[in-house]
Structure 1
Amino acid sequence: MYQQIITKIITMKDYNELVNHIKENITISEVVQKLGNLQLKKKGNSLVGNCPTHHPSTSGTCFNVITDKNFCYCHNCGVGGSSIDLVMLTLNIDFKEALEWFNKSFSLGYSNNFIGINFVKTQEELQRERELKAKSFLLEELLTEGKRMLFEPEGKDALSYLVNERKFDEEKIKQTELFYLPSKSETKQILYKAYPEMS
Structure 2
Amino acid sequence: MVDMTRNWTNTGTRTDGRTSGTSGTSGTSGTAGTSGTAGTSGTAGTSGTAGAVLGAATVAMGLIAGTFYVFACAVMPALARSGDRTYVEVMRNINEVIQNPVFFVSFLGALALTAVSAWQLRSRWVYAALITYAAAFLITVAVNVPLNDALARPGNPRTLRDHFETPWLTWNITRALLCTAATAFLTRALVVWGRGQRAA
TM-score normalised by the shorter chain: which range applies?
A: under 0.3
Is the radius of gyration larger for structure 1 or structure 2?
2
Larger helix proportion of the pair: 2
Larger strand proportion of the pair: 1
Greater RCO structure (CA 8 Å; 6+ sep)? 2
